[in-house]
């Protein structure tokens, strides 16, 4: 328990049925007949309640949440400050459309993001609903402002599921296969991936290789933007070697290329700083944000250099729901909670506990090839012992085993062999320790099969 946080639900793992229980099984049956088959779910239980570090299912099982609904509920899924801000705003108006009758919440979120994001230059912000939409619009604005068309994205990148963002995303299955053709003008460059790169390669060397390739394949004068996740999310929590991001950002600045940091997953205290770019002092020209921004309410943002975002003609950016007033109220409350509870510091503590536990498991089992990440965004890459060969089947089995014992664990990675841990930042120490023990047990059990 954390004494500065009050929880509504008991912070404990408690199973009263097998998972999935009968009511979840019943819902799964209804779902099969009603919901499109293309939507997947990682865990076969249906949620009834959630708070702090637990999710309670419709059968009354209390599960430990080590995924935060994919890095979203950093302040918890029922932060009292967010809940009351949402209720208050919904009691007044749920929508007017900022493009019709604007309101203060949108402006206040923009002011707040302009202040929180890296760099002290003059900034502007525009709000949307999803991460993909933020990425789309960052690229739109970068192309218009530069008058150039080419965009560079990286290997292992994930930027969303709309047409342009599928094009930017690296992994075919399940995100792209069968959904083409994709937007043009996208070039893919190698990512710094220290675990799999030649030993001893520095971040700067990896960046120089990218720059050389851009020069031969595109030419800086045709390049509008370079978009990169400072720590890759879906791609496997890949942390580039130190120097990679600063070298690319500096080159981009010299050549008038818009450097876009996609911090949709890494943003808002998750990595132990407000943003992952802060760690190496990288100041992006534009930053895309979503996931953790509003305590679970749908909201996304692009914050960037005023000259870039003000270059777009009035009416060129927007959307019916973008910057919804209820979501804006939630964001302001969630950001307050992050400050009040010092969740960036807490993210570092959580990360240290996770790494310590995973190191033990690595020594005991031999199936963890790499432990990486930053703050409360930590991954274990699972491999066949003594090699760096990805062990996808083991990874799936580990996640299923942990879930069977009441711990929500997510996987990711280009090779599907990465266990990713991103608990709510309000999780208590005992609950986290219990969740990690279950995971450790799951890895040991499944690896011994």
Q: Cα–Cα distance between 294 and 61 in angstroms, integer? A: 27
59, 136, 262, 278: residue in contact with ligand PLP (rule CB under 6 A): 262
How far from chain centre, in Å, is Cα 218?
Answer: 29
| Residues near ligand PLP (CB under 6 A), total | 14
CB-based contact 290:273 (threshold 8 Å): no
Structure tokens at 203: 């971040």
Say what angle helices 104-116 and 325-340 make with each other, to 10 degrees. Answer: 40
**Minimum distance from residue 420 beta carbon to ligand PLP (Å):** 11
| 128 near ligand PLP (CB under 6 A) | no
User: For ligand PLP, which stretch binds (CB under 6 A), given 29-37, 127-135, 188-196, 212-220?
Assistant: 127-135
Residues 32-91 touching ligand PLP, rule: CB under 6 A, are none
Q: Is the previous residue joined to 181 through a cis bond, with omega within 30 degrees of 0?
A: yes
Q: Which of 159, 270, 279, 372 binds ligand PLP (CB under 6 A)?
A: 159
Is residue 229 part of the contact set for ligand PLP (CB under 6 A)? yes
- Residue 23 buriedness (CB in 10 A; 0-12 / 13-18 / 19+): middle
Closest distance to ligand PLP from the beta carbon of 365 (Å): 29
Q: Which of 132, 223, 347, 377 binds ligand PLP (CB under 6 A)?
A: 132
The yes or no reply on residue 135 touching ligand PLP (CB under 6 A) is: yes
Q: How many CB atoms lie within 10 A of CB 317?
A: 18
Site membership for ligand PLP, residue 130 (CB under 6 A)? yes
Rounded to whole angstroms, the Cα distance separating 78 from 329 reads: 14
Give every CB contact of residue 181 below 8 A, 6+ residues apart in sequence. Answer: none
Instruction: Please give the residue whose beta carbon sits closest to ligand PLP in the complex.
Output: 131
- Of 130 and 395, the one with the shorter C-beta distance to ligand PLP is 130
- Least distance to ligand PLP, CB of residue 287, Å: 11
Q: Which stretch binds ligand PLP (CB under 6 A): 78-86, 152-160, 181-189, 322-330?
A: 152-160
Q: Is 287 in the site for ligand PLP (CB under 6 A)?
A: no
Give helix 325-340 / helix 80-90 axis angle, nearest 10°. 160
* Separation in Å, CA 190 to CA 13, 208, 298: 42, 11, 32
Q: Which of 160, 369, 373, 375 binds ligand PLP (CB under 6 A)?
A: 160
Q: Which residues bind ligand PLP (CB under 6 A)?
A: 130-132, 135, 158-160, 229, 233-234, 262, 264-265, 290
């Amino acid at each position: 328990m954390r004494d500065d946080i009050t929880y509504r639900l008991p912070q404990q793992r408690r199973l009263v049925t097998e998972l999935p229980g009968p009511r979840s099984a019943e819902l799964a049956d209804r779902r099969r007949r009603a919901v499109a088959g293309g939507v997947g779910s990682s865990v076969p239980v249906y949620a009834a309640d959630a708070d702090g570090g637990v999710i309670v299912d419709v059968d009354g099982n209390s599960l430990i949440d080590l995924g935060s609904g994919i890095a979203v509920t950093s302040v918890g899924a029922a932060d009292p400050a967010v809940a009351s801000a949402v209720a208050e705003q919904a009691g007044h108006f749920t929508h007017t459309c900022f493009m019709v009758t604007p309101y203060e919440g949108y402006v206040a979120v923009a002011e707040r993001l302009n202040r929180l994001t890296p760099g002290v230059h003059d900034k502007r912000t525009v709000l949307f609903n999803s991460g993909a939409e933020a990425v789309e619009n960052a690229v739109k604005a970068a192309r218009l402002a530069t008058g150039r068309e080419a965009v560079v994205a990286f290997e292992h990148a994930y930027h969303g599921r709309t047409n342009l963002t599928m094009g930017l995303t690296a992994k075919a299955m399940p995100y792209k296969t069968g959904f083409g053709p994709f937007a043009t003008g996208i070039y893919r460059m190698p990512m710094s991936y220290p675990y799999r790169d030649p030993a001893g390669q520095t971040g700067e060397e990896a960046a120089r290789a990218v720059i050389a390739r851009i020069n031969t394949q595109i030419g800086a004068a045709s390049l509008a933007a370079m978009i990169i996740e400072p720590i890759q999310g879906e791609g496997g929590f890949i942390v580039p070697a130190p120097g990679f991001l600063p070298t690319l950002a500096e080159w981009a600045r010299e050549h008038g290329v818009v450097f876009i940091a996609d911090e949709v997953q890494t943003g808002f205290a998750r990595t132990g700083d407000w943003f992952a770019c802060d760690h190496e002092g990288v100041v992006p020209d534009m930053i895309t944000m979503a996931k953790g921004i509003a305590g679970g309410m749908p909201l996304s943002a692009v914050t960037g250099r005023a000259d870039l975002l003000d270059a777009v003609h009035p009416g060129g950016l927007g959307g019916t729901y973008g910057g919804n007033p209820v979501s804006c109220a939630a964001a302001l409350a969630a950001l307050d909670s992050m400050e009040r509870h010092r969740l960036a510091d807490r993210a570092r503590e959580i990360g240290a506990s996770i790494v310590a536990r995973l190191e033990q498991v690595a020594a005991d089992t031999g199936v963890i090839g790499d432990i990486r990440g930053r703050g409360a965004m930590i991954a274990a890459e699972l491999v066949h012992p003594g090699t760096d060969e990805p062990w996808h089947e083991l990874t799936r089995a580990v996640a299923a085993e942990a879930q069977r014992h009441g711990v929500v664990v997510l996987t990711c990675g280009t090779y599907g062999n990465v266990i990713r841990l991103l608990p709510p930042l309000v999780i208590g120490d005992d609950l986290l320790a219990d969740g990690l023990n279950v995971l450790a047990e799951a890895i040991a059990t499944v690896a011994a099969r």
